Structure 1
C-alpha cells in the first residue's frame, strides 16, 4: 500500500475478537533514495550547492534502511551529509525553522520577535543547551535542560492578561513544564520588555529560573526535522561553539564539525 510518499507492507493478522484482517507492517520511503559519494574536497555549503545542482540535495537519512543502502566506500575518513544546525535561525533572531527557538505554550516561535539574550548567548554550548533560563537581571541564557532550577509559570486572567507566578521548587525543564501545565496555563512566555521586567522582579536575588523558551536542534538540508541520528562517542560536542554541520565516518557514525572544514560528501537523488 502507498501512504503519502511511503510504500508500506501489509501483513495478515488476527485481532482479540478473532477477526482476521490486515495490519500495517514496515514502511519504506517511496521512491527510495539513491546515494552518491562525491570525491571533491569542499566546505559544507559548497557540498550543498553541488548536490542541489547535480542531484537532489545533500544526503538525508531517516532510518537504518537508508544507512544500509549506502554502498561501501573506504576512500574517505569523514564525509559531509545534509544534517546541520543553521545558526542564522537561532543565534541572532527568533527564526521560524524547525530548529528555531519557540515557546512551550504555543510550540511556535515568538510572534513579536522579542528576545533578551545576554551577550554571547545563545551559543548551544557543548551541543546540549536547548532550554532557556533567566537571571535576576532579566537576561536570558541557554542552558542544559536536565539541570534543576526554580521556574516561572503563568496564568491567563479573565481579561486575557498574563499573570506570572514564581515557583520555588527545583525541577528540570521538562518537569517544570509538566508542573506549569498541570497547575497553571503553561510556563512563562515573554514577548515584550514589560513582560520581561515583570518576570525579572519576581526572581529573588542570585536565583536563576527556567522560562518556557526551548528549541530542537539539527535539521536536514531540505529543511525537514531530524528524528533519526547516529552520533559517535562524545558527539556532538560543538567545540569552540562553531560546529554546526555534520559529517559521517566509514562506520556511519556522525560528528559535528565547523561548516568551513574541507571534506568529501554524499548526495542523494
Structure 2
C-alpha cells in the first residue's frame, strides 16, 4: 500500500547559509598574473578559485571565447597529497587522510596506484596503467568501474570525469578491500585518484580540484601560474596549463555568491509529532509530521523573510530527509503562524508559548484526521 508523507515545518529562530558558490567576473584587461591578483583583490575577492567540475563549467560559460585566461592557481613551496574528487560533501571527518601505503612508500612520483596486493605505491604520472573510476550518478548501480586501458594518470582522470564521476577515492579500509577484490584477479595495478602537488589557490582555499591538459603541468621551474582555455573550438577547451607569471593575459576574478545553503538540524532541538489516519480503499495512508527547529543566529543581516531564502531552506531540508531514508519526493511546506510569518525571533518566555502552540497544532491535526 502506498504511503504518502506530508511534513509541515514550524521553524523558529534564524537561518544561516553555510556554503557558497563562486560568482565569476571576466576581466578583458591584459595583465601579469601578479597584477591580475592585485586587481581582483582590490575590486572583487580574488583571482578565480575552482572547487569542482560544476564550478569550472560555470566559470567557462561566464566568459567569452578566449584561448587562455589566468585563474588563481599558482605554484607553492610544499608538496601535499590530494584526492582528484574534490567535493567535500563526499568525505566524512578524517576520510581524506586515509592511506594504505606499501612498505617504504611513498617515494618519487606524484600519482598513486593500487597494487594487486591492495597496497598503494606512487609513480610518475606519465606512466600508464589501468584505472578505477568512481560513479556516483543515481541512475547506475555501479560504484567502482575498472577500465582495462593503459592511460597516464591525467588521461585516466579525464576519462573518468567524462564518462563517470572521477577517479576513485579510497576513504577507508572497507573501500580499499572492495576495490582490491575488483582488481586482484586481473593481475595488474590500477591508478586511483590520489595525487601530489604543491599548487595553491590565491585565496588560500584548500580546494584539491585540478583539470590539467594532457601532458601538463609543465615541470619547468619558471612555469608557476595557471591558465584555463574557454575556446570551445579547441581540443584543450576547459583544460589548464601553466606558464611563466609575467605573461600578459586577461583573467577571471570571483566574489562569493550564495547559491546553495545548508540548514543544521541537530537532533536535540527537534520535536516531532506524528498522527496517522487509518487507510481506506479510496485514500492511501497519510502521515503528517510537525517539526519545530530552533536555530542560533550567525548572520544578523540575512533577510529570513525573503521567499528565495525560504525556498533554499526547503530544498536543503528535502535533501536531509532523503539522506535519512524518507521517500524520494517528500512533501515539505512551511506552516505560517497566526500573524502570517514563518519565522519568529525567540523572546523571553517563548518556550511556554511554543508549548501552547504545539498543543494547539496537535489538537487541530487530530480533528483534521478524524
- Relative contact order (alpha carbons < 8 A, sep ≥ 6): 1 or 2 greater? 2
Structure with the larger strand share: 1
Task: Flag the structure with larger Rg.
Answer: 2
TM over 0.5: no
Structure with the larger helix share: 2
State the TM-score, normalized to the length of structure 2: 0.33
